[in-house]
Amino acid sequence: MAVSDPFHLAVQVRDIDEARRFYGDFLGCPEGRSSESWVDFDLFGHQFVCHLNPALKDNAVASHKNPVDGHGVPVPHFGVVLEMPAWQALADKLRAHDVTFEIEPYVRFKGEPGEQATMFFYDPSGNALEFKAFKDRETQLFKKT
């Protein structure tokens, strides 16, 4: 997927091979350049880099939670806004592989401006991810509500 202005995001992970399995093999992100201490991925058209921090332990990335639509949204988090069919396919894949969700896939702000499908889960190093899709992406992506 090509985007006109891709972002660059780097996160820390506890194990490079584990990150390759999760982002590359499981999520299907093509791998780019790498070394023993970092690896680049194409995350839906964006440059996403995992940097090794061997000091991380299981779920070591602590996050704060802010209330949104009756759920505790982990902060910080990152992810991608997908088209609805791609979001649904990802949600189905995650459910089929028994991924533990922080917030199960659902539609929030239903019937309101900004209606969106969303889901939150963690990578193996404890980084919080959100993937979402807007009912009307073109008019609601950056619209004030």
- CA dist 23 and 15 (Å) reads 12
CATH numeric code, 8-52: 3.10.180.10
Domain 64-140 has CATH 3.10.180.10: yes
- What is the per-residue pLDDT for 62? 61
64-140: same fold as 8-52? yes
- pLDDT tens for the 145 residues of the chain, in order: 556 788 999 999 999 999 999 999 999 999 999 999 999 999 999 999 999 998 887 655 567 889 888 899 998 999 999 999 999 999 999 999 999 999 999 999 888 888 899 999 999 999 999 999 998 766 555 555 4
Question: What number of other Cβ atoms are within 10 A of residue 45's Cβ?
Answer: 13
Contact 15, 124 (CB under 8 A): yes
| Per-domain boundaries in the chain | 8-52, 64-140
- What is the per-residue pLDDT for 122? 95
pTM: 0.86
130 burial via Cβ count (<10 Å: 0-12, 13-18, 19+): middle
